């Protein structure tokens, strides 16, 4: 950790496309509909060991770093001043959770734009590099072939029907290899253009566009968007409407969604003096799929015994939700470890940012890939309940791979 950071935030003119301002592929980003944060360079970074306490360890590291910083903030909005981007592992048994404080952050929100610069060492920032395309991309199965994954789904359904648990989320992965190094800026730009209602993110080699807002904290106000239950988009408006209408009354999908909403209410309820969830799910339509969606909003308690939780602490309290793990969580986590045949790494873990005042936004790392040179590892998962059909779940997973597949191929 640097001895001390010097941080300066100043207002700037509208910078235009934030992603277009990223000077080289080692990019940090959290963008939705053109607003958010884009960062580059590293003033400080920590990789956290496996364990249930990885969030607490990250909070401690950040608090020491931020408390010791010499900060001047002429903007004073959520996301100004020192900011850390983070990405945490899904499974506490996995290594690799990371927090990064960028050297430079460009932000824009609600008609205001700002630039934050951080100095903590004398290493110069590298020169800007042109964005390059990866060329031809070749695909292959990774941990499970499609038939093997269907067998895992069938095994999960049998365990649910036997009463071992009520829901489990099973994921699968794909490998990709390109002719040239994959430039995350190109992937982010394509994802942001095609999925503007998602949160396009990049942190330490994990990049994607997640539709799911785990938590937003702005002062004492909190928001969450719960997604669970999915169908594809239709080829025509009539087909689209029919698919959406069927999703809203699907017993399987409504059951799956209900578990995820209950998890969020249970986690946030003790921390809020006001908490309101929409009484029934609505449809969230994205470019490739439709989800059941429930919006939750709340007000943090004025003086909880342990202090007002930061956005990162709230993300830790919510993770893992039934939307990415299952119900009950402990039984679902055990079954995931048994049936998936892979380490998810940071897929389906919290990803986002937090500032020195504890404000921030954290999503669930979905529709994403780990990028490493010419190679990429993509992920997709599906909620499994007693009424799940393995072939239908495989088709849903293939649909969820599509955003990143298309972003890599162009």
> Could you list the active site residues?
167, 212
Cβ neighbours around 391 below 10 Å, total: 11
Q: What is the CB-side half-sphere exposure of residue 310 using CA atoms within 13 A?
A: 21
Distance in angstroms (rounded) separating the CA atoms of residues 263 and 260: 5
C-alpha 33: how far from chain center:
16
What Cα–Cα distance (Å) separates residue 329 from each residue in 318, 375, 394, 397? 11, 32, 23, 21
The conformational region for residue 79 under phi > 0 = left, psi -120 to 50 = alpha, else beta, is left
CA angle 213, 350, 310 (to 5 degrees): 80
The full 3-state SS of 17-82, as one line of letters, equals CCHHHCCCCCEEEEEECCEEEEEECCCEEEEECCCCCHHHHHHHHHHHHHHCCEEEECCCCCCCCC
Cβ neighbours around 342 below 10 Å, total: 16
Which of 396, 314, 304, 407 is closest to 352 using CA atoms? Answer: 314
Are 171 and 379 spatial neighbours (Cβ–Cβ below 8 Å)? yes
Residue 41 tokens read as 């360079």
C-alpha 36: how far from chain center:
14
Which of 152, 140, 206 is closest to 365 using CA atoms? Answer: 206
Instruction: Classify burial at 52, counting beta carbons within 10 Å of its beta carbon; exposed 0-12, middle 13-18, buried 19 or more.
Output: exposed
Distance in angstroms (rounded) separating the CA atoms of residues 377 and 371: 7
Instruction: Classify burial at 330, counting beta carbons within 10 Å of its beta carbon; exposed 0-12, middle 13-18, buried 19 or more.
Output: exposed
């Amino acid at each position: 950790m640097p001895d001390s950071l010097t941080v300066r935030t100043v207002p700037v003119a509208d910078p235009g496309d934030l992603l277009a301002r990223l000077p080289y592929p080692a990019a940090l980003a959290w963008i939705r509909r053109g607003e958010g944060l884009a960062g580059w360079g590293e003033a400080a970074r920590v990789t956290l060991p496996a364990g249930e306490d990885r969030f607490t360890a990250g909070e401690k590291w950040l608090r020491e770093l931020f408390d010791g910083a010499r900060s001047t903030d002429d903007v004073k909005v959520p996301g100004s001043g020192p900011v850390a981007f983070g990405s945490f592992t899904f499974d506490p048994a996995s290594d690799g959770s990371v927090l990064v404080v960028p050297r430079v952050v460009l932000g824009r929100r609600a008609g205001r734009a700002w630039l934050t610069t951080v100095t903590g060492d004398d290493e110069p920032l590298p020169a800007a590099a042109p964005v390059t395309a990866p060329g031809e991309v070749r695909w292959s199965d990774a941990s499970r072939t499609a038939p093997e994954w269907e067998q895992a789904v069938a095994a999960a359904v049998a365990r649910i029907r036997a009463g071992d648990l009520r829901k489990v989320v099973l994921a699968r992965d794909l490998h990709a290899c390109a002719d040239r190094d994959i430039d995350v800026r190109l992937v982010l730009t394509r994802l942001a253009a095609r999925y503007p209602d998602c949160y396009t993110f990049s942190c330490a080699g994990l990049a994607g566009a997640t539709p799911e807002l785990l938590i937003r904290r702005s002062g004492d106000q909190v928001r969450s968007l719960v997604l669970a239950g999915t169908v594809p988009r239709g080829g025509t408006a009539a087909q689209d409407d029919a698919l959406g209408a069927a999703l809203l009354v699907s017993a399987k999908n409504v059951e799956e969604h209900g578990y995820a909403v209950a998890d969020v209410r249970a986690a946030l309820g003790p921390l809020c003096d006001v908490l309101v969830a929409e009484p029934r799910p609505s449809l969230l339509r994205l470019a490739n799929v439709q989800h059941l969606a429930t919006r939750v909003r709340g007000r943090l308690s004025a003086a909880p015994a342990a202090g007002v939780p930061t956005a990162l602490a709230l993300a830790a309290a919510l993770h893992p939700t039934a939307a990415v793990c299952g119900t009950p969580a402990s039984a679902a986590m055990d079954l995931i470890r048994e049936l998936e045949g892979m380490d998810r790494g940071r897929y389906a873990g919290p990803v986002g940012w937090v500032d020195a005042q504890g404000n921030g936004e954290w999503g669930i790392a979905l529709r994403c890939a780990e990028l490493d040179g010419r190679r990429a590892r993509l992920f997709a998962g599906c909620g499994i309940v007693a009424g799940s059909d393995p072939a239908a779940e495989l088709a849903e997973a293939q649909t969820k791979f599509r955003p990143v597949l298309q972003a890599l191929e162009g």
